[in-house]
Homo-oligomer: A and B are copies of this chain.
């Protein structure tokens, strides 16, 4: 049967240009309509939507189609700029880190006296996680993926190093003044601080379900902020 069945190559045409239907879609842009050709805006738009999707659904749970749909452009552009779903995910991580960097610059605790500086640092860390929930969720998601993608970011290590340096400086000055205990490891302390700040955001769903309290409620938020400051100060103070 097979061997001699001389199948003339069935002629199949090459891709042709699609018919273009330039019909207006009814809901026209308002007066200050976006420019049609604005790559930076396109990228930003894609990244914005992708950030939401990835942080809401996880890397595997996110759908490229879902992202594209909520974008001002098409799925194709997403691949045009970011190569692949993973590439887009990485770009999202990068962007989220970039966004945060600016904020971080503002933290200037080196000039404050140690206890006040420590208070500021903790408050900053708290606010920072509280404000950047997408960031927190993405880090949690990264841990599900064994931090495979985030480790490739240059920004990643440096950022953590800088915060630890800040803590180290505070601890050293406090100890020199006899106000702080001298034997505290800065990284350990950073872990203590960020654990709380991170956890109440990352685990707010299970927390809410378990205790019937939404940790993002303003009253709870304030109380938590005070508490972690208090706990940290009590922890570092001599004796």
Contacts and interface: CB of A to CB of B under 8 A. Distances in A.
B10 A140 contact: no
Contact of A58 (B144, B228, B230, B235): B144
Contacts of A223: 185, 188
A163 to B, nearest CB: 9
Interface string A1-29: 11111111111101000000000000000
Contacts of A235: 230-231, 234-235
Contacts of A58: 58-61, 141, 144-145
Contacts of A4: 94, 97-98, 101, 131, 133, 155
B52 A156 contact: no
Nearest to A228: B192
A82 interface: yes
This chain: how many copies in the complex?
4
A194 interface: yes
Contacts of A43: 2, 7
B210 A156 contact: yes
Nearest to A144: B58
A227 B52 contact: no
A202 B177 CA distance: 36
Interface of A: 1-12, 14, 43-44, 47-48, 51-52, 55-61, 63, 66, 80-87, 91, 94-95, 97-99, 101, 131-134, 137, 139-148, 150-151, 155-157, 160, 164, 185, 187-188, 191-192, 194-196, 198-200, 202-211, 213, 215, 223-224, 227-228, 230-232, 234-235
Given A14-B86, A139-B206, A231-B235, 4 more contacts: A11-B83, A60-B60, A191-B200, A192-B196
9 contacts: A4-B131, A5-B52, A7-B56, A140-B143, A144-B144, A188-B223, A191-B196, A191-B200, A198-B199
